[in-house]
A = this chain, B = another copy of it.
């Protein structure tokens, strides 16, 4: 962990706990504990690995500091975007019928579907309230602008989710539809993090646009990379092949590329669900049809575009370097 992360990450965790403590009232303790469990603070398997990487709040604070702002003052916004992300994970897990997240039982598995939906709703409400806490350091106008950016990205999130769920039933998807979906599902919130961070940093609109675009392309790159790893990543290929997106049936970029080739892969995919022992053969077939190279090239292209926008924003000093490093680390690149 870098020095900057060593300062930011505990502060993020602290602010998240402060926000969730709105529910830390005697008659609501079990409710509070559901959210604290999901956030990785309590219960079986709690700790760093259960908390996720907190990438979104890090991007927000780094963008703020790089634009000359006080990252401490921006902490409520950092907590807010992480809570939005986690609200969407909680509902996602119910929608996808996923029993585990980060190696632990999901919230609905432990407390049932109705409480799971409500816990997700609560995370979302608290994200709204957290953002309004900015008022202690920023003007009402700035808080409103941040709210518009965040809520607009949340609407995009539900649009992306609608598309993702509706794609499951379709076999005629074209690549353009993939980009519309992941722009909503992944890129919108990451873009909002960078936009809100630079807004709170106090920079001009042109620079904010550069940060917003940096976040947008970084989000797309991140999703493509995730899709790539869902088929050719270690855990997808070896040992636990049930984790492969080929088995779960997820419509990811490599799969969509393969479907558009209308070759042997497409034929097999449309033929019904795929078992774990077909994974190795089928991922090789997909690679032979060009999907692996295409996905790698696409991830590289999106990353390069993101870094171009970041260079144009020209974030100074250690914090600026940290932003470049974080983007590269996210994409599995060294420096």
Contact = CB atoms under 8 A, between A and B. Distances in A.
A288 interface: no
A144 B140 contact: yes
A120 B297 CA distance: 37
Nearest to A117: B91
A243 interface: no
A123 to B, nearest CB: 9
Contact of A132 (B22, B126, B144): B144
A241 B290 CA distance: 63
Most buried by B among A112, A121, A126, A180: A121
Contact of A125 (B117, B118, B151): B151
- Give the interface size class of chain A: 35 or more
Contact of A159 (B28, B152, B157): B28
A129 B143 contact: no
Interface stretch (A161-169, A200-208, A250-258, A313-321): A161-169
A30 B170 CA distance: 14
Interface string A90-117: 0100111000000000000000111101
A274 interface: no
B118 A94 contact: no
A92 to B, nearest CB: 9
A34 B302 CA distance: 34
A75 interface: no
A183 B157 CA distance: 31
A171 interface: no
A162 to B, nearest CB: 4
Contacts of A151: 125, 128-129, 132
A2 interface: no
B117 A117 contact: yes
B144 A128 contact: no
B162 A115 contact: yes
A155 B129 contact: yes
A154 B128 contact: yes
Interface of A: 22-23, 27-28, 30-31, 91, 94-96, 112-115, 117-118, 121-122, 124-126, 128-129, 132, 135, 139-141, 143-144, 147-148, 151-152, 154-155, 157-159, 161-163, 165-166, 177, 180
